[in-house]
Chains A and B, each alone.
Chain A
Amino acid sequence: MIYIITQFLNGLFSAALLFLIAGGLTLVFGVMRIVNIAHGSFYMLGVYVAYTVIARTDSLLLGTIAAVLLVAAVGLAVERLFLRRFASRPLPQMMMTMGFALVFRDAAFMIWGGDPFTLPYPALLAGSVETRDIVFPAYRLFVMLVAAVVGLLLWVLNEHTLIGAKLRATVDDPEMAAATGINVALVSGGVFAAGAALAAFGGVMGGPILGGYAGMDLDLLPLAFVVVIIGGMGSLKGALVGSIAVGLIDNFGKALVPELSYFTLFAPMVIVLAIKPTGLYGRG
């Protein structure tokens, strides 16, 4: 029983990280209709930037802020200087993000080398929380809480603000949004930068546990894609539900039948797609 509860909590921890990463991926798809292959690179860059800044300043907070801001700036530059040239042409845009994924991967290798590392734990959260017989690392609970807060903020922004209404209008019908006075290019740039920032933030949050290593960018991408496909591309609610589903399934799958871990990960996706090709909350 304790084992199951611990696995359940571990699954929710994975779900929290996945949500931070897949949330940005799904928003970018919703607004720009592109599958952003470089999303995993933003996640990776976040971890590396935080690592460098923390090593220099000894401050987790500064490292996190630097990672989020710098990666957001990189995302904005990628969108403004490159993707913008191929506006409304998803295939060239996707190929371009793929190129950037390779460039970032090699750049990271050149700058930081290939040695694995982990980010330090915040001192306050280094211990464990104990209730009855269940012992669970405090930091993992903290990450779950942070993801929940981020999810709530995104939801409020999306559903209850003017910016959110403009965002949804752009997702629903970009042409009509433009004709209604919305600067769609600005929205795209903003969403792309915000998505990159979220991925970087997810990387930093997971940093003390998953750390940084060469190839981490493409390790995570398939999981994030499974989340987005299950939840429905473009849907924030879908990203949340998909993250929880994938987080739990992946954890229990690896714990119970480790030799089938890829099967247990992709089988639910296939089933969802067979029943509802647009994903749980996606649109046709």
Chain B
Amino acid sequence: MLNVLDLHTYYGDSHVLQGVTMHVDSGRVTAVLGRNGVGKTTLCRSLVGLTPARAGRIVFNDTEITRLPPHQICGLRISLVPQGRRIFRSLTVEEHLAIAGRTRGSLAGVSEKREHRPGWDVRKVYDVFPRLSERRGHRGDELSGGEQQMLAIARALVANPVLLVMDEPTEGLAPMLVAEVGKLIRRLKDEGTSILLVEQNASFAVKTADYVHVMSKGRIVHSSEPAALWANGDIRTQFLGVPRVDPPVARD
């Protein structure tokens, strides 16, 4: 459903993605693993249009989206759960869900609005995250870190995505909440949502994903089923380091 072909992305002169080729299969959880600074977040940013790639192609269900602006990519039902949550500080929980739920990119908007397939809306999001329902009148900057992460996921879900891109959704979360996120990902998969899970937390990703890409220095260096990756000691030590638990302090 998503094919990335020889993608090159720069920040100014800095060549971050140096020819990434990878794919996400429909209805599966695909993980991208790698150490800090190998370009995982840049890959997410290029996918959703925030840092357009300078060369290469991104094809989503036969549509080339490489150079589309972010709101149009969002309109094609690709949603992002960004690293660091990026909650709007002055918006209430309810407003977050309202702007994310009702807006559609102009390209896809016309055809997709009519299509009433069962999916995520505000009510379902509140069912899954009762805590957000309790806090619906609170502003983004009044929420706890865990609540903000739930809201970041909820904000992506109300757009009813076909592909959910999650950039380190477990970062800085307590173990119990990490387990919750894992459960939610499996549920989304069962409902037919495709997921791209970008993680530093290798053990979490390997447990959750159906397919794994390993990234190093702006390239994909290994792609396989998670079991095969886990069995490959060289890859594990060379590119992932020893799986570790992140410190409880959020880094941003």
Contacts of B82 in A (CB 8 A): 176, 179
Tell me the smallest distance from the CB of B75 to a CB of chain A, in Å.
6
- Can you list, as one digit per residue, whether each of A156-200 has a CB less than 8 Å from chain B (1) or not (0)? 000000100110110111011111111111000000000000000
Contact, CB under 8 Å: B70 / A179: yes
Contact, CB under 8 Å: B95 / A180: no
Interchain CB contact (< 8 A) of A172 among B49, B91, B102:
B91
Contacts of A179 in B (CB 8 A): 48-50, 70-71, 74, 80, 82
Contacts of A178 in B (CB 8 A): 49-50, 69-71, 74
Distance of A18 Cα from B89 Cα, bound (Å): 28
Contacts of A180 in B (CB 8 A): 74, 99-100, 103, 155, 159
Contacts of A176 in B (CB 8 A): 82, 86, 88
- Can you list, as one digit per residue, whether each of A231-243 has a CB less than 8 Å from chain B (1) or not (0)? 0000000000000
A/B pair count, beta carbons within 8 Å: 71
Indicate the size class of the contact surface on chain A.
10 to 19
Distance of A173 Cα from B90 Cα, bound (Å): 10
Given contacts A178-B69, A179-B48, A180-B99, contact A169 B74 (CB under 8 A): no
Tell me the smallest distance from the CB of B169 to a CB of chain A, in Å.
15
Contacts of A165 in B (CB 8 A): 91, 95, 98-99
Distance of A172 Cα from B105 Cα, bound (Å): 20
Tell me the smallest distance from the CB of A236 to a CB of chain B, in Å.
11
- Chain B, range 197-244, C-beta contacts under 8 Å to A: none
Tell me the smallest distance from the CB of A259 to a CB of chain B, in Å.
43
Q: Does B106 contact A (CB under 8 A)?
A: yes
Distance of A169 Cα from B92 Cα, bound (Å): 10
Tell me the smallest distance from the CB of A175 to a CB of chain B, in Å.
5
Distance of A183 Cα from B71 Cα, bound (Å): 6
Contacts of B80 in A (CB 8 A): 179
- Chain B, range 130-173, C-beta contacts under 8 Å to A: 140, 155, 159
Contacts of B70 in A (CB 8 A): 175, 178-179
Q: Does B8 contact A (CB under 8 A)?
A: no
- Chain A, range 221-269, C-beta contacts under 8 Å to B: none
Contact, CB under 8 Å: B99 / A171: no
Contact, CB under 8 Å: A173 / B99: no
Q: Does B57 contact A (CB under 8 A)?
A: no
Contact, CB under 8 Å: B100 / A181: yes
Tell me the smallest distance from the CB of A85 to a CB of chain B, in Å.
15
Q: Does B104 contact A (CB under 8 A)?
A: yes
Tell me the smallest distance from the CB of A223 to a CB of chain B, in Å.
27
Tell me the smallest distance from the CB of A12 to a CB of chain B, in Å.
28
Contacts of B89 in A (CB 8 A): 172
Distance of A175 Cα from B86 Cα, bound (Å): 9
Distance of A166 Cα from B100 Cα, bound (Å): 9
Contact, CB under 8 Å: B90 / A162: no
Nearest-CB residue, chain B, relative to A163: B99
Contact, CB under 8 Å: A162 / B88: no
Nearest-CB residue, chain B, relative to A178: B70
Can you list 23 A-B contacts with CB-CB less than 8 angstroms, sorted by A residue number?
A165-B91, A165-B98, A165-B99, A168-B90, A168-B91, A169-B88, A169-B91, A169-B99, A173-B86, A173-B88, A175-B86, A177-B88, A178-B49, A178-B71, A179-B48, A179-B71, A179-B74, A180-B103, A181-B99, A181-B105, A182-B103, A183-B71, A183-B106
Pick the 4 closest A-B CB pairs, nearest first: A181-B103, A178-B70, A181-B74, A165-B95
8 additional A-B residue pairs with CB within 8 Å, beyond A168-B88, A169-B95, A175-B70: A162-B102, A166-B103, A169-B91, A178-B71, A179-B49, A181-B105, A183-B71, A184-B71
